[in-house]
Chain A
Amino acid sequence: IAGITQAPTSQILAAGRRMTLRCTQDMRHNAMYWYRQDLGLGLRLIHYSNTAGTTGKGEVPDGYSVSRANTDDFPLTLASAVPSQTSVYFCASSESSGGAYNEQFFGPGTRLTVL
């Protein structure tokens, strides 16, 4: 049982380049999330998806886009990376959004450095 996988594990990227972080879950969860984690700021929600075919903006969506073509995959794209997007990115999933069924399962993270 894999749970949630993320790729790549880490990446160094030149500013202005396009980058897609991949996230796949095998738990058939309806809801998926992308967070960034920065020292002193904790986990901040970038985008979320309550179910396949729908997405929503979180606390810090600017500069990022997502898609949810199917239940399992939830890629995060940086259209034109900037140094302030240097962070550790976590993908998570839960059975549903909100409420008592929102126990979130996190992936191992992607460490992204934008130079």
Chain B
Amino acid sequence: SQKIEQNSEALNIQEGKTATLTCNYTNYSPAYLQWYRQDPGRGPVFLLLIRENEKEKRKERLKVTFDTTLKQSLFHITASQPADSATYLCALEDNYGQNFVFGPGTRLSVLP
């Protein structure tokens, strides 16, 4: 069956450290993968999109990798700040190239 898993439901790290979030998928072959941020009581906000032929994408303190062999994407936040605390969702293109399917999310807490 098709499945998207994100490393853990919650992740706590110390301010200034690099946060690494994992998105693993089974029985999908996405050409595109996205990451979103969601704050409590609000809708998700798009952060980054990475294509299957791109190994890595960066945006300011964010870095995303996409390994189609491992069927995994890693999302890194360097020099993390308490303001980075939120839930982060990965989303990947479904097998019809029609819509994106979301993972369950990882709730990140950056502790001062």
In the complex, the answer to whether B43 meets A106 with C-beta atoms within 8 Å is yes
Is residue B10 within 8 Å, beta carbon to beta carbon, of the partner chain? no
Is residue A71 within 8 Å, beta carbon to beta carbon, of the partner chain? no
B63-71, B78-86, B91-99: which lies at the interface = B91-99
In the complex, the answer to whether A42 meets B104 with C-beta atoms within 8 Å is yes
Given contacts A103-B46, A103-B49, A106-B44, contact A98 B105 (CB under 8 A): no
Q: How many residues of A contact B (CB 8 A)?
A: 28
Given contacts A102-B32, A107-B43, contact A48 B51 (CB under 8 A): no
Across chains A and B, the number of contacting residue pairs, with CB separation under 8 Å, is 63
Is residue A64 within 8 Å, beta carbon to beta carbon, of the partner chain? no
In the complex, the answer to whether A41 meets B104 with C-beta atoms within 8 Å is yes
In the complex, the answer to whether A33 meets B99 with C-beta atoms within 8 Å is yes
Chain B, residues 8-32, CB within 8 Å of chain A (1/0): the string is 0000000000000000000000011
* Across-interface contacts of A61 in B (CB, < 8 A): none
In the complex, the answer to whether A106 meets B93 with C-beta atoms within 8 Å is no
Starting from the known contacts A35-B102, A42-B104, 4 additional A-B residue pairs (CB-CB under 8 Å) come to A92-B43, A98-B97, A99-B97, A109-B41
- Using a CB–CB cutoff of 8 Å, the interface residues on chain B facing chain A are 31-32, 34, 36, 41-46, 49, 51, 89, 93, 96-105
- Using a CB–CB cutoff of 8 Å, the interface residues on chain A facing chain B are 4, 33, 35, 40-45, 48, 50, 56, 58-59, 90, 92, 97-100, 102-109
